[in-house]
Amino acid sequence: MKYLLRRLLRAFSLLVGVSALCFVFTEMAPGNYFDEMRLNPQISPDTISALRAQYGLDQPLVIRYARWMKSAIHADFGYSMAYNMPVAPLLWGRAKNTLLLTTTAMLLTWLISVPIGVWSASRRGGLVDRIVTVVTSLLVSIPEIVIAFALLALVVRWRLLPIGGMTATVNGAALSTWGSVRDVAVHLVLPVFILVQLESAVIIRHVRASVGEVLSAEYVRSARGLGIGRARLLFRHVLPVAANPAISLFGLSLAGLISGSLLVEVICGWPGLGPLVLEATLSRDLYLVIGGIMFSAVFMVGGSFVADVLLLASDPRIRRGTSDAC
């Protein structure tokens, strides 16, 4: 109980800290949202300054932060300069799409990676292991962008899947529930495929490495010698021990549910947070960026919390350790 409270307090102070530092960082960067208008000879600097004043950009940092906090309490989280709308509803609408994408990808990734990693580790040096090593090395070494573009090019040639968006264009009405689920699913295939490839390569390598480590440990080999079956050995003795780095990675996966798919969303035109926050970052739509960061920070905190709880649960050695420290 105390642990939970402590974690909550820590989470809250983290979020406050993140927001404060965000303001400081955004202050460091030269330029602001309205700079682009300077290139237009038909807009006077007075208009630009007036616009800046309208959004409070000419106020000192502390005042802006205080106003933003007030707005956050009112659940607005500031105003987007580009969209002329409060930030929170803008973010939430797009976040749903991102979560759909990333949770699907994450589920698939872990469902695929753990068995493959374990299988590969248990048959070290075998054909399967070799193939897995080569393929994961390939995927890890090629830059994401190249993989994504290559897949896109293939999809264009063979016209198997729609290239972008989340739903088919036009006549969005009159699709039965099953029809619209199918529609979204078809659009999900490409971005999920890309995400799964990239993430699973990393996770397979780690799982394989840590399971392999454990499998060659003395106590495991002696257990085999004693005749304990493969399955029992795996699930009772090997996996809980090998789970340690995997759990940390799982926590990181959870943490990245909001932020991890940015590149893929931009390339595949998936209408999630990625393209929105990317454009906001580039154009200095400050409150939208900060709102997006806070959103992702919440997931970050949640993810590491879950990871820590799992670590405690899975590894009795850690439990003992923390009870000492408590």
Partner 1 sequence: MHAKTAVLISLLAGVHLLLLFAGCLSPYDPRTQNRDVPYAPPTRLHFVDNAGFHWRPFIYAWSPVEDGYAEDHSEAYPIHLFVRGDRYQFFGLWESNLHAFGVGAPAKALLLGTDGFGRDVFSRVLWGGQVSVAAGIAAAFIALLVGALVGTIAGFYGGWLDESLMGITELFLSLPWFYFLLGVRAFLPLHLSPVRAFFLLASVIGLIGWTRPARLVRGIVLSVRDRNHVAAARGFGASNFYLLRRHIIPEAFGALLTQSALLIPRYIAAEATLSFFGLGVSEPTPSWGNMLSVLQQYSVLVSYTWLLAPAAALFITSVIYALVADHLHSRLESRST
Partner 2 sequence: MKAITRLTLLVCLLTGFAFAGTLAPGAATPVEDLLHLPTLSGQFGGHLTIGQRSEPKTLNPVLAADSISREVIGRMQADLIEINRATQQTEPALAKSWKVSPDGRTFTLALRRGIRFSDGHPFDADDVVFSFMVYMDEAVDSPQRDLLIIDGKPLVVTKVDAYTVRFTLSRPYAAAERIFDGLAMLPKHLLEKSYREGKFTQAWALNVASSEIAGLGPFRLKQYVAGQQIVLERNPYYWKTDSENRRLPYLDELVFLFVGSEDAQVLRFEAGETDMISRLSSENYNLLSREKARTSSQLANLGPSLEYNFVVFNLNDLSGKNLGDVARKEKWFREVKFRQAISLAVDRESIVRLVFGTRGAPLWGNVGPGNKLWVNQAIPHPQRSLDQARSLLKSAGFSWNSSGQLLDSSQQTVEFTLIASSSNSQRMKMATLLQDDLAQLGMQVHVVPLEFRAVIDRVFQTFDYDAAIMALGGGDADPNPEMNVWMSSGTSHLWNLGEKQPASDWEREIDSLMQQQMVTLDYARRKQLYDRVQELIAQNSPFIFLATPNILTAADMRVGNFRPAVLDPYTLWNAEELYVRSGGLENAGVR
- Partner whose footprint covers residue 87, from partner 2, partner 1, none (CB < 5 to 8 Å by kind): none
- Taking CB under 8 A as the criterion, the residue among 107, 138, 160, 313 binding partner 1 is 138
Q: What is the DSSP string of 250-280?
A: HHHHHHTTTTTTHHHHHHHT--SHHHHHHHH
Nearer to partner 2, 43 or 217 (CB): 43
Q: How far is the CB of 130 from partner 2 (least distance, A)?
A: 35
- Taking CB under 8 A as the criterion, the residue among 50, 70, 137, 185 binding partner 1 is 137
Q: Are 58 and 49 in contact (CB under 8 A)?
A: yes
Site string for partner 1, 267-296 (x = CB under 8 A): --------------x-------xx--x--x
Site string for partner 1, 177-206 (x = CB under 8 A): -------------------------x--xx
Q: How far is the CB of 18 from partner 1 (least distance, A)?
A: 5
Q: Does 233 bind partner 1 (CB under 8 A)?
A: no
Q: How far is the CB of 103 from partner 1 (least distance, A)?
A: 19
- Taking CB under 8 A as the criterion, the residue among 47, 216, 230, 236 binding partner 1 is 216
Q: Does 221 bind partner 1 (CB under 8 A)?
A: yes
Nearer to partner 1, 188 or 220 (CB): 220
Residues of this chain that bind partner 2 (CB under 8 A): 29-32, 35-45, 47, 50-51, 54, 82-85, 89, 93-94, 97, 149, 152-153, 156, 159, 162-172, 266-267, 269, 271-272, 275-276, 279, 282, 284
Nearest 10 degrees: Cα torsion 319, 321, 324, 326: -70
Interacting residues of 84 by C-beta distance below 8 A, sequence separation 6+? none
Q: How far is the CB of 320 from partner 1 (least distance, A)?
A: 5
Q: Does 212 bind partner 1 (CB under 8 A)?
A: yes
Q: Does 153 bind partner 1 (CB under 8 A)?
A: yes
Interacting residues of 33 by C-beta distance below 8 A, sequence separation 6+? 55, 57, 81, 82, 283, 284, 285, 286
Q: Within 13 Å of residue 262, how many CA atoms lie on the same side as its CB?
A: 13
Q: In angstroms, what CA-CA distances link 236 with 71, 223, 240, 321?
A: 51, 11, 7, 22
Nearer to partner 2, 269 or 302 (CB): 269
Nearer to partner 2, 190 or 247 (CB): 190
| Burial bucket for residue 100 (CB in 10 Å: 0-12, 13-18, 19+) | middle
Torsion sign across C-alpha atoms 145, 149, 150, 152: positive
284: left (phi over 0), alpha (psi -120 to 50) or beta: left
Q: In angstroms, what CA-CA distances link 135 with 142, 189, 191, 192?
A: 11, 21, 19, 18
Q: How far is the CB of 89 from partner 2 (least distance, A)?
A: 8
| Cα–Cα distance for residue pair 118/132, rounded to 1 Å | 11
| Burial bucket for residue 168 (CB in 10 Å: 0-12, 13-18, 19+) | middle
- Partner whose footprint covers residue 218, from partner 1, partner 2, none (CB < 5 to 8 Å by kind): partner 1
Q: Within 13 Å of residue 91, how many CA atoms lie on the same side as its CB?
A: 25
Nearer to partner 2, 91 or 238 (CB): 91
- Taking CB under 8 A as the criterion, the residue among 37, 213, 266, 269 binding partner 1 is 213
Q: Does 8 bind partner 1 (CB under 8 A)?
A: no
| Cα–Cα distance for residue pair 297/252, rounded to 1 Å | 12
